[in-house]
Structure 1
Amino acid sequence: MDDRPAYDRLNAIYDRFQADLDPLAWAEYIHQLHLEQRLPHTNQGEGGRPLLLDLGCGTGRMTAGFVPLGYDIIGVDISPLMLEQAMFNLSEAGIKPLLLLQDMCEFELYGTVDLITCLLDTVNHIIDIDRLRKFFAHCATYLHPGGVLIFDLATEFHFAEVLGNAEFFEISDDYALLWQNAYFPETTLSRSEITLFEATEDGLYVREDVTIKERYYSLEQISNLLTEAGFIDLTIHGDVGISGAPELAASLDRAADLRILRSSETAINPKTTAVSENIGGTERVFFVARSGKPIPDSECISE
């Protein structure tokens, strides 16, 4: 049995699946959400820069988009080969990040950060709700007072309708990939059986078989868990074209263009406030939540 993390076996071609994503557009969008939600306080990065923790950073391609916006970067991933690729990618771009080989549900840092991100439906890969609870608790622990957690979540429409029980394939000169998906609505689990044939220099192919499991979580489930972990001021935003990036560029400076599905002035109380699940054909939603820790008077700054 191969006990390597699933994405260890896909690291060589992983970025090709994200070729249509613009890391700079993603970073700019998330930066705007961060500015809208954060409370003014002294930043934790070197030279007063904001410090960002990217959980499940993978190859670092998306992480790199935040550097031009002034963030110092910490990346966490459970895959050694993904982190190796991330170090190469970021170093090639002149970036010197701190990369940590850790389980994102049990990570440890030496201090707190200003922004935590977890992108590309990485949260859906946490299929055990107790581990998801632990994930949010760790995020709450390592966010500085006034800091913000931002992550995206794949919707039921994505799992049931877009992936569903379909089969996909992709063939190029140097690899062939077969993907068989199955969605189980009774458990909200999605299972992807992936077979990769990768060409070698001697003209042969190396076969890798990978199983990836994800789980659909309702907006209410996630909202409740965030509240339980001590987060406040939760907002949920629809996918406003960020996947393809071009539609997003023209709307980044207009907060009104963000389709807010649910917003609260304080922590959501699930007993009194229902969270709308009416998101239609949206494949992805973004959660933004702020740390409930009070900011020490010594760190408060005026904007």
Structure 2
Amino acid sequence: MSDFVNPYTKFAYAYDVMMENVDYVRWAEYVDDLFALYNYHPKRVLNIACGTGSIDILLAQKGYEMFGIDLAFEMLALAKKKAERRGVKLNLWQQDMRELTVSKPFDAILCLYDSINYMTTEKDLKTVFIRASEALVPKGMFIFDVTTERNIIKHFHMKTFAESNKDFSYIWKNLYVPKDKLCKTILTFFLKEGDCYKKYDEYHVQKIFSVDQVKDLLNEAGFKLLSSFDAFTFNKCGRSSDRINFTAVKKT
């Protein structure tokens, strides 16, 4: 028998091991390059859905004053520990991106690694965009990415991944529902607790949005879209894109 828990509550403890193939250095450099591309020099940067803080730490080391929010307290706790070990200051707090409120506006906001896809309705996505706009200075920059239907079908649909080591094991099952544009995932973890392993399940759902949907909602939320690039490049996105990076600027 297993316990169902909220997304990223148990995933947090395995996250960095499971994502060790992710090139966070490249990702941080790409964000830095996007700022440079538009001759924008932000100081205070907020990362919404910051996770365990890997990108935040790298950007802080580049001189940005980094802030981060995440819905999962467990992810934030790990981010804090990682930052302390590296001697980096991160300003972190727990918050739902749909309820983002800040006491002082930011120069730039990030939302990376398809965190946006966790918004499963246009209403929720528009709410996030509005909250981001309200949390930015005039002409502040918003950088985020989305995973694409091509990526989900090619790499995840009807696929199961599994791994085992001394501290945990996991089984990762995926199903894409084309008519709903939803990728449904069940992550089963076996975590070592004392002398035993306990089973936990997490249910994750991600929504695929078209480029036109994103553009329209950004405009309605008060943003001007600057670019929609094939991720990690400065090339316009297309049908072969697995990940699309959007850069937008607050209109006023």
> Are the counterparts in 2 of residues 182 and 191 from structure 1 also a CA contact under 8 Å?
yes
| Alpha-carbon offset, residue 230 of structure 1 | 1.1
Structure 1 segment 42-121 matched on structure 2, within 5 A? 50-121=43-114
Counting strand residues as a fraction of each chain, which structure ranks higher?
2
Following the alignment from structure 1 to structure 2, what is the Cα–Cα distance between the partners of residues 231 and 3? 38
1:289 aligns with: 248
Runs (4+) of structure 1 moved beyond 6 Å?
Answer: none
1:198 aligns with: 191
1:185 aligns with: 178
> Are the counterparts in 2 of residues 37 and 290 from structure 1 also a CA contact under 8 Å?
no
Q: Identity across aligned pairs (percent)?
A: 28
2:239 corresponds to which of 258, 279, 298: 279
Cα–Cα, structure 1 residues 154 and 69, in superposed 2: closer, same or farther, change >3 Å?
same
State the aligned residue count: 251
Quick check: 215-224 or 158-167, which moved more?
158-167
TM-score (norm 1): 0.79
Cα–Cα, structure 1 residues 23 and 102, in superposed 2: closer, same or farther, change >3 Å?
same
Unaligned residue ranges in structure 1 (runs of 5+): 44-49, 241-256, 262-277, 294-303
> Are the counterparts in 2 of residues 38 and 290 from structure 1 also a CA contact under 8 Å?
no
Structure 1 segment 1-303 matched on structure 2, within 5 A? 4-37=5-38, 50-202=43-195, 204-240=196-232, 258-261=234-237, 278-280=238-240, 282-293=241-252
Q: Which amino acid aligns with 1:31?
A: D
Unaligned residue ranges in structure 2 (runs of 5+): none
| Alpha-carbon offset, residue 55 of structure 1 | 0.2
| Alpha-carbon offset, residue 236 of structure 1 | 0.6
Q: Which amino acid aligns with 2:147?
A: A
Q: How large is the Cα RMSD of the aligned pairs?
A: 1.8
Following the alignment from structure 2 to structure 1, what is the Cα–Cα distance between the partners of residues 160 and 56? 30
> Are the counterparts in 2 of residues 38 and 147 from structure 1 also a CA contact under 8 Å?
no
